[in-house]
Chain A
Amino acid sequence: MTAHTTESPIAEEPGVIRRFGRMLLADKFAFCAAIFLIVMILLAIVGPSWFGDIAIKQNLRGRNLPPFDWERGWIWWMGADALGRPLLARIIVATQNTLMVAAGAVVISAVVGTVLGLIAGFSSPRVNQVIMRLADVIMSFPSLLIAVIVLYLLGSSILNLMLVLAITRIPVYLRTTRAEVLEIRERMFVQAARVMGASSKRILFRHILPVVFPTLTTLATLDFAYVMLAESALSFLGIGIQPPEITWGLMISQGRQYLTNAWWLSFWPGLAIILTTMSLNLLSNWMRIAFDPVQRWRLEMRGSTNG
């Protein structure tokens, strides 16, 4: 038996990308969600450069233009805002900031919270205590005060806003991770790894983290929506992202006052948030199955019968 012969069956198996692609096709909802999110990400990348100019081109005489006016160019189909700028273009341009702030905040809080949670769950009671008290402090620290402090001391910027939103969400990940670690560290396969002489680091990152990971992904997708809304509420209170930067949350907040006479100003960005949130949820449900070897067959089976 040589290395060569044992390698050969691997080549026959479809590549990871194709396998996941097939699994994605198996779940129609998740597939649509993925398409939607990919479009959103593409818009986030190219949006500001393609539509950046038209999105800030003001026309005070064409204010609050209603949507569904097919006579005009497609960019006007969603109507125009209070400065006569096409809403469609603005939503596209805002995608970048919105997704960046939300993703940034979620990633920062998830990474920091998870690492702290892993440490808290796996180290001495004293360290655990310190970290948990820290979580308590952050938890009861009024998030608006954090916002005011950070934005006052560091200035208002996308990055700092990300930071503010991230800080407030750290305890969520921290507590979840810690609780899971406390449970998982007692599982047999962790004991088995210890018997083999695995280091704490290896046990944490190779054995415990992958098991916690699905829970964290679910949490993160839910948080994504939460962060977008929190960002919107900060704008409402006047300490969030500020024009001329735009996000969907800010657009809703700005459109609020036109609710009775130009509903579309806040409706479209609201719809964008809802669709993104729902797509993320659907995709995270799919991911939970697709990344779990025990569950994966559900998708692979469906995929093969379809294909």
Chain B
Amino acid sequence: MLSFIRKRAIASLISLVGLLVLVFFLSRLTGDPASLFLPVEASEEMKAQFRELHGLNDPIMVQFTRYVGDVLTGDLGQSLRKARPALDVVTEAFTWTLWLASITMSLVAGAAIVVGSLAAFRAGGFFDRLSSILSLIGASVPDFWLAIVAIVIFSVQLAWLPTSGTGTLLHWILPICVLFIRPFGIIVQVVRGSMITALSSAYVKTARAKGIRSGPIIFIHALRNAMLPVITVIGDQAASLLNGAVVIETIFGFPGVGKLMIDSILQRDFNVVLAAILVTALAIFLMNLLIDIAYALLDPRIRH
């Protein structure tokens, strides 16, 4: 297991370094942060001075060597716009994203597993058809549209929930619900497919011959076997949530890493972009590791 983790860590490190190098150079091709930070009327001298302050006047290779040196000493640089360490900015936002992603994914996984399993148990039945049509529609609706409709209905018309923000637990309900829909639709389908295979497998036949009840057959015998592909998809979906839910964060005023990322990209706040990529990529790496461990826990054949 340890050597496996090490192998994975090295592979991820290679990807991460490649990613950061690529982002470093490509992002610097996309325009000058000085003219975005300063008003359009700012003189060329002011812009030059801004660039000087942030070392953007140096040749790109010099900037790169300096950045690599700083990163190796644990310094991810200052945000060009916020006058504070980029890493602080990112970890702050990422904490929110992490919470949002983990709560949403737990709910999605739980609900999708139950619904998908039941749909598979009576494949072709009414519940199965209903759930697949609804999940398909859910997956085809733009999320920003859904978010605004949800606010109009639940906050403005019914006044049940706050429109946006982060103050209380109630504030989390709408963003989570809107965020829930698309991964749910995808995972339900995977659970369903995987469960149909598992339920028609030989060991389920054995269990029926042993006189085991339907409940345990579905949720103990079949489900654990069906979980491997499901976990892979959950991982993929969780990874995309960890990258931030830009649209949801924008509409609900949720201070997550997605909005931070898009703002930093549009404002060319390079250090924040790099730090955000670093933090999210690390988180995704850790999550993939967790998924591999989950594989091993679920399936003894992988363990041995």
Contacts and interface: CB of A to CB of B under 8 A. Distances in A.
B140 interface: yes
Contact of A277 (B14, B140, B143): B140
Contacts of B18: 133-134, 137
Interface string B26-56: 1101110000000000000000000000000
Contacts of B277: 140-142
A253 B250 CA distance: 14
Interface in A201-260: 225, 229, 232-233, 236-237, 249, 252-253, 256, 259-260
Contact of A278 (B11, B140, B284): B140
Contact of B30 (A153, A256, A260): A153
B261 A237 contact: no
Given A140-B280, A152-B31, A260-B152, A133 B11 contact: yes
Contacts of B284: 140
Contacts of A145: 23, 26-27, 261, 265, 273
A277 B136 contact: yes
Nearest to B186: A222
A114 interface: no
B19 interface: yes
SS class of chain B's interface: helix, strand, loop or mixed? helix
Contact of A236 (B27, B243, B247): B247
A281 interface: yes
A281 B262 contact: no
Contacts of B137: 274, 278
A142 B270 CA distance: 13
Nearest to A152: B30
A141 B247 contact: no
Given A136-B12, A140-B277, A142-B261, A249 B142 contact: yes
A278 B143 CA distance: 17
A24 B149 CA distance: 38
B65 to A, nearest CB: 21
A144 interface: yes
Nearest to A229: B142
Contacts of B152: 259-260
Nearest to A276: B140
B281 interface: yes
A233 B31 CA distance: 23
Contacts of A253: 142, 144
Given A133-B15, A137-B19, A256 B262 contact: no
B142 A129 contact: no
Given A259-B152, A278-B136, A270 B273 contact: no
Contacts, number: 105
Chain A binding surface, main DSSP class: helix
Interface residues of B, number: 42
A136 B9 CA distance: 13
B107 interface: no
A188 B23 CA distance: 44
A214 to B, nearest CB: 13
Interface in B149-167: 149, 152
A274 B152 CA distance: 22
A37 interface: no
A237 B251 CA distance: 11
Interface string B241-259: 0010011001000000000
A144 B262 contact: yes
Contacts of B27: 145, 149
Nearest to A142: B261
A274 B141 contact: yes
A242 B303 CA distance: 52
A273 interface: yes
Contact of B142 (A134, A148, A232, A281): A232
A144 B133 CA distance: 30
B294 interface: no
A-B residue pairs, 7 tightest by C-beta: A136-B15, A277-B140, A152-B30, A274-B140, A140-B281, A137-B19, A232-B142
Interface of A: 129, 132-134, 136-137, 139-142, 144-145, 148-149, 152-153, 225, 229, 232-233, 236-237, 249, 252-253, 256, 259-260, 266, 270, 273-274, 277-278, 281
Given A133-B15, A233-B142, 7 more contacts: A134-B18, A136-B11, A140-B277, A225-B140, A237-B246, A256-B144, A266-B145
29 contacts: A132-B11, A133-B14, A133-B15, A134-B18, A136-B19, A137-B15, A137-B22, A139-B239, A140-B19, A140-B280, A140-B281, A140-B284, A141-B19, A141-B23, A142-B277, A145-B261, A152-B29, A153-B29, A232-B144, A233-B144, A237-B247, A237-B250, A249-B142, A252-B145, A256-B145, A256-B148, A273-B142, A274-B141, A277-B136
Interface of B: 11-12, 14-16, 18-19, 22-23, 26-27, 29-31, 133, 136-137, 139-145, 148-149, 152, 239, 243, 246-247, 250, 261-262, 265-266, 273, 276-277, 280-281, 284
